[in-house]
Amino acid sequence: MKLHTIDTGLFKLDGGAMHGVVPKSMWTKKNPADENNMCSWAMRCLLVEDGNRLILIDNGLGDKQDAKFFSYYFLHGDATLQKSLRAKGFDVSDITDVFLTHLHFDHCGGSIGKKDDKFYPVFQNAIYWSNEEHWAWATKPNARERASFLKENILPIQESGQLKFFKENDELIPGFKAWFTHGHTGAMMLPHIEYQGKTVVFMADLLPSVAHVPLPWIMAYDTRPLLTLSEKETFLPKAADNEFVLFFEHDYQNECCTVSKTENNFQVKETFSLEQYFEK
């Protein structure tokens, strides 16, 4: 098995929404905001190469939305999904599996392309993995999340016949499992990958960045923040005790970290890139 970091670009989101009840005087030291109170965030994906399988975890915003949509999110940086795949020696046609942690637009927008007003699967040779509970949540969205679940990102996956559902006790390949969480959105999947004697955890939106490691740092976007708190209280002791490598999808400054316990909380122990950690 080999893991590859895939960068799909940067975007901006409101700093207050991303940091929840934490005062700006505190969070701005970790994630500085611009004049519009917007902070930069990554859309970092993970590619798992294992024998004949090439599994892409999430795929960013994509490029099919109109100029008005993109004007809200201030895309910047030079990275794209296709460029990052090519830099690793791969093409979208090589992907065998697309594992979608959840179906918010910044995680699954690259799944579907658009040509001549028709939508098509970008990964034409891949199985797209979601789960039944989250699929129902996304295709019949509540009013609070409706703007994050864009039907053009979601329904064409099913229409293509490439959709399959993952179950909580399934193993996609040996050493690749997922923990289902429910605080951010219904049944978000966090891949746990056994790699070179360590557990690499793709954090998706449970921990968007290293700033979100302390227990009270929870996004206002989360549908059930107290459940997120409980999930962090369950996860972080295991992460500290077992030296999990936490892989961040949205932290534009830090790719990975390990964590340690404090007297009443948790803190970042060390930050590093995936490549640095496994080649040292």
What mean pLDDT do residues 99-126 have? 97
Most distant CA pair in the chain, distance: 58
Per-residue pLDDT, 273 = 97
* First-to-last C-alpha distance (Å) of the chain: 17
What mean pLDDT do residues 75-81 have? 94
CA–CA gap between residue 99 and residue 101 (Å, rounded): 6
Per-residue pLDDT, 85 = 98
Tally: H helices and E strands in the chain: 9, 14
Rounded alpha-carbon distances, angstroms, from residue 13 to 56, 67, 106, 195: 24, 17, 11, 32
Domain boundaries, the chain: 2-204
Residue 162 pLDDT level (bands cut at 50, 70, 90): very high
What does the DSSP 8-state code read for residue 240?
H
Q: Is the pLDDT of residue 48 over 90?
A: yes
Looking at the whole model, is its pTM more than 0.95? yes
Single out the residue of 150, 151, 157 nearest to residue 129, CA to CA. 157
**Tokens (6 digits) for 160:** 């293509």
Give 14-27 pLDDT, tens digit per residue.
999 999 999 999 99
**Tokens (6 digits) for 195:** 């790699």
Q: Compute how many other C-beta atoms are within 10 angstroms of the C-beta atom of residue 239.
A: 24
Q: Using CA of residue 169, residue 171, residue 175, residue 178, what is the dihedral sign?
A: negative
Give 165-214 pLDDT, tens digit per residue.
999 999 999 999 999 999 999 999 999 999 999 999 999 999 999 999 99
State the DSSP H helix or E strand holding residue 279, giving kind and residue range, or none if neither: helix 274-279
Give me the residue label for tokens 């490029």: 63
Residue 279 pLDDT level (bands cut at 50, 70, 90): confident
Q: Which residue has better confidence, 238 or 117?
A: 238
Give 207-242 pLDDT, tens digit per residue.
999 999 999 999 999 999 999 999 999 999 999 999
Q: Is the pLDDT of residue 280 over 70?
A: no
Per-residue DSSP letters for 177-209? EEEEE-SSSTTEEEEEEEETTEEEEE-TTTS-S
CA–CA gap between residue 81 and residue 110 (Å, rounded): 8
- CATH number for 2-204 (one of 3.40.50.10490, 3.60.15.10, 3.90.1300.10, 3.90.550.10): it is 3.60.15.10
